[in-house]
Structure 1
Amino acid sequence: MVRVYVDDLVIIGANCDDIKQFKKEMANAFKMSDLDLLCYYLDIEVRQSARGTSISQGAYVAKILERSGMAGCNPCQVPMATRLKLSKRSTEPLVDATAYRNIMGSLRYLVNTRPDLAFAVGYVSHLLEEPRKDHLAAVKQILRYVRGTKSWGLKYERKEEQVQLTGFSDSDFAGDVDARKSTTGVIFFLANSPIT
């Protein structure tokens, strides 16, 4: 499999000889550099060993915190307060919508390696149109949580036994206070490591 982003290629396969042959053919056709094992790609840090692969975004978290003015914030234990109810009809003052959306876009990208953030980030993402002070406070709590857990990521261990796919789903009932819509969440694990 070949993953391409602009002029960066990631080559994945089970047969090292096939990968070497592909690289050789590409080098004959194009000017390219072989950086060997993948260690960093699109703000995702990749660590590979004989025991498995782990991915995280610690450096990206530092960038998010710096850009949002939260680099020195106090960490907290949870990404969102229990039973938090935010409304699009909030009467709190408006905040800078562009800055809010910028932070939200960054957090949504971070969810790729941090499924623990998925619900909280998804919840505040529906408030992009006219973000208010209380909405921003919820986003800042996520940032405080991220600061305290910036080294977290996903770990995929090599297993000798048969790999099993397991999935879970759940939903609330009319949790959206504005539209009375429900939220569904799903997570799938392959060999006890989250993949969605």
Structure 2
Amino acid sequence: MYKRGEGSDRILLGIYVDDLIITGSSESGIITFKEEMKETFRMSDLGKLSFYLGLEVLQSETGITVTQLKLSMDSTTKPVDATELKSTLGSLRYLIHTRPDIMFAVGYLSRFMEQPTKEHQAAVKHVLRYITDTLRFGRWEYVEKGKVEVKYVSTDDQLADILTKPLGRVRFQELRSKIGMVENKVMLRIRE
């Protein structure tokens, strides 16, 4: 999780592997930021967020709804050879020691090794394509050129935890405050 700007000009950027979430208060600020990113990196703008880290996001005028993970044990697609998928995922599990950027995806996909379907196989292929496309990405090259500054971040300041880990109420509120998220005081009622 990265932030840029202050107050109404603040932009929040969530990055995971090859996916980005860009959000902020100012639509013009977001558009400007996207254009800057496109000048520097090869990227596509997929429009409003609809799917991220296995979560389906539905946006409407009444609000935003986050639904269950698309990949599930209850997949309706045809089964595939579990032996081949286990072998591929096993190799990827070794690779995560030098490629921590794929750790979440590989760990999540490993849940489906016993009864994999075409949907799971497609997700594994997506990870393999990502690895192939990023073989020559040298992170230290950016550090040496001064484009990226490496700093130590303590566990207490890991802002991405708000999106990636189950948190207690107090910790969630602390992180929410640090990234400038405003509390929504609207109460939801569950229909019985």
Shared fold per TM-score greater than 0.5:
no
> Over alpha carbons, which structure has the higher Rg?
1
TM-score range, shorter chain: 0.3 to 0.5
TM-score relative to the length of structure 1 = 0.39
TM-score relative to the length of structure 2 = 0.40
Structure (1/2) with the larger strand percentage = 1
Structure (1/2) with the larger helix percentage = 2
